[in-house]
Amino acid sequence: MISSRFSKVISWAYLIALYGFIFLPVIVLVLFSFQDGRLPVPPFNGATLKWYGEVFADNRLMAALGNSLMVAIGSSLVACVLGFCAAYGLARFVLPASRLQRGILIAPMTVSYLIIALGLLSTFNWIGISLSLWTVGIGHVVINLPLCFAIIYASMGDHQKNIERAARDLGAKEWQVMTQVTAPMLMPSILAAFFLSVTFSWDEFIIAFLLSRFDVTLPVEIWSLLRSGLNPKTNAIGSVVFLFSIALLLVLELLVFRRTAKK
Amino acid sequence: MAAASLEDQENRKAWGFVTPALLWTICFFVIPFIVMTAISLATRTGREIVMAWNFDNYITFFEKAHLLKGLFVSLEITFTVTIISILLAYPLAWIIAERVPQKWQRMALILAVLPFWTSYVVRSYSWLLVLAKNGVINNTLIWIGVIAEPLEMASTRSATIIGFVHFFVMLLTLTIYANLVQMPPNYRRAAADLGANGFQVFWHIVLPLTLPGIMVGAFLTFVLCIGDYITPQILGGNNELALPQIIMLQLGRRADFPMAATLSIVLMGAVTLAYIACARWLKMERT
Would you say residue B89 has pLDDT above 70?
A: yes
In A, which residues are within 8 Å of B21 by CB distance? 82-83, 85-86, 105, 145, 149
How far is the C-alpha of B265 from the C-alpha of B247, rounded, in Å?
11
A179 close to B (CB below 8 A): no
Q: Is A238 left (phi over 0), alpha (psi -120 to 50) or beta?
A: alpha
Instruction: Tell me if A263 sits within 8 A of B154, measured CB to CB.
Output: no
The C-alpha angle with vertex B154 and arms to B151 and B156, in degrees rounded to 5, equals 100
User: Across the interface, do A112 and B226 touch by the CB < 8 Å criterion?
Assistant: yes
Q: Where are the domains positioned within chain B?
A: 66-286
* Residue B4 pLDDT class (50, 70, 90 cuts): low
How far is the C-alpha of A102 from the C-alpha of B22, rounded, in Å?
9
In B, which residues are within 8 Å of A196 by CB distance? none
Percentage of residues of chain A with pLDDT beyond 90: 37
B54 close to A (CB below 8 A): no
Per-residue pLDDT of chain A (263 residues; tens, 9 = 90+): 456 788 888 888 999 999 999 999 998 888 888 887 777 777 777 777 888 888 888 888 999 999 999 999 999 999 999 999 999 888 888 888 888 999 999 999 888 899 999 999 999 988 989 999 999 999 999 999 999 999 999 888 777 788 888 888 888 888 888 888 888 888 888 988 998 899 889 889 999 999 998 899 999 999 998 887 888 888 899 999 888 888 888 888 787 766 655 54
User: Across the interface, do A95 and B11 touch by the CB < 8 Å criterion?
Assistant: yes
B234 close to A (CB below 8 A): yes
* pLDDT number for residue B239: 82
- Whether cis (ω within 30° of 0) applies to the bond prior to A42 is no
Residues facing B45 on adjacent strands: B48
Q: Where are the domains positioned within chain A?
A: 59-262
Residues facing A35 on adjacent strands: A47
User: Across the interface, do A114 and B166 touch by the CB < 8 Å criterion?
Assistant: no
Taking the alpha carbons of A202, A205, A206, A207 in that order, is the dihedral positive or negative? positive
Q: Tell me the average pLDDT of chain A.
A: 87
B136 → closest Cβ in A8, A28, A113: A28
* Residue B82 pLDDT class (50, 70, 90 cuts): very high
The pTM (predicted TM-score) of the whole model is 0.87
CATH pick for A59-262 out of 3.40.50.1360, 1.10.3720.10, 3.40.50.150, 1.10.1740.10 = 1.10.3720.10
In B, which residues are within 8 Å of A205 by CB distance? 119-121, 230
Task: Classify strands B48-50 and B43-45 as parallel, antiparallel or unpaired.
Answer: antiparallel
Taking the alpha carbons of A66, A68, A69, A73 in that order, is the dihedral positive or negative? positive
Any residues with CB less than 8 A from the CB of B155 and at least 6 apart, and which?
Answer: B235, B236, B237, B238, B239
Mutate to test the interface with A, among B8, B125, B130, B228 (most CBs of A within 10 A): B125
User: Across the interface, do A118 and B260 touch by the CB < 8 Å criterion?
Assistant: yes
Summarised one tens digit per residue, pLDDT across range A132-156 is: 999 999 999 999 999 999 999 988 8
A139 close to B (CB below 8 A): yes
Among A134, A124, A122, which residue's Cα sits nearest to residue A208? A134
ipTM of this model?
Answer: 0.86
Q: Per CATH, is B66-286 categorized as 1.10.3720.10? A: yes
Instruction: Give the number of other CB atoms < 10 A from CB of residue B230.
Output: 23
* Alpha-carbon gap: B17 to the closest alpha carbon of chain A (Å): 5
* pLDDT number for residue A259: 60
